[in-house]
């Protein structure tokens, strides 16, 4: 095992989870390496602090106060639930009404096509080709010829 492997296995060493051979290798390395010895000492201090905290006694009424506080917080959070539910349903209903109205109003209205020329200029074109293309009728050879000649 190299130095990094030993450092990764220090926790297992402390918890006595290593095989006898690996345990002996880590033990010898820690005895010779100050850095790993410091890390192992830090792990041991952390373990001692956790064990000391586990032995601390809580006040007599701690559990009942904690439960009461949790219940109060849940009640406070649930007070707005019916109001929020109603508000969300109202917003959804209004959205559906608006969507339906927009759909109905645009369904019956036939909209005229928009050419790039009309769109960019912002005004209606009065050219022969525009009159021919946007009147909605079939285009004949004469219409195409008229539009081409008017371009000159």
Reported as a single tens digit per residue, the pLDDT across 67-109 is: 999 998 888 777 767 778 888 899 999 999 999 988 887 766 5
* Res 32 pLDDT > 90: yes
Q: What is the pTM (predicted TM-score) of this model?
A: 0.38
The more confidently predicted of residues 128 and 4 is: 4
HEC readout, the chain: CCHHHHHHCHHHHHCCCCCHHHHHHHHHHHHHCHHHHHHHHHHHHHHHHHHHHHCCCCCCCHHHHHHHHHHHHHHHHHCCHHHHHHHHHHHHHHHHHHHHHHHHHHHHCCCCCCCHHHHHHCCCCCCHHHHHHCCCCCCCHHHHHHHHHHCC
């Amino acid at each position: 095992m190299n130095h990094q492997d030993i450092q990764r296995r220090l926790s297992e060493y402390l918890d006595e989870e290593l095989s006898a051979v690996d345990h002996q290798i880590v033990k010898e390395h820690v005895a010779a390496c100050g850095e790993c010895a410091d890390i192992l000492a830090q792990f041991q201090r952390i373990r001692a602090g956790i064990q000391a905290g586990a032995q601390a006694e809580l006040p007599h009424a701690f559990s009942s106060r904690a439960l009461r506080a949790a219940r109060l917080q849940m009640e406070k959070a649930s007070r707005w639930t019916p109001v929020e539910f109603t508000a969300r349903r109202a917003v959804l209903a209004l959205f559906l009404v608006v969507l339906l109205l927009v759909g109905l109003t645009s369904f019956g209205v036939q909209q005229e096509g928009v050419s790039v020329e009309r769109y960019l200029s912002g005004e209606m074109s009065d050219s022969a080709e525009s009159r021919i293309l946007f009147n909605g009728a079939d285009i004949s050879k004469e219409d195409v010829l008229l539009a081409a000649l008017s371009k000159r």
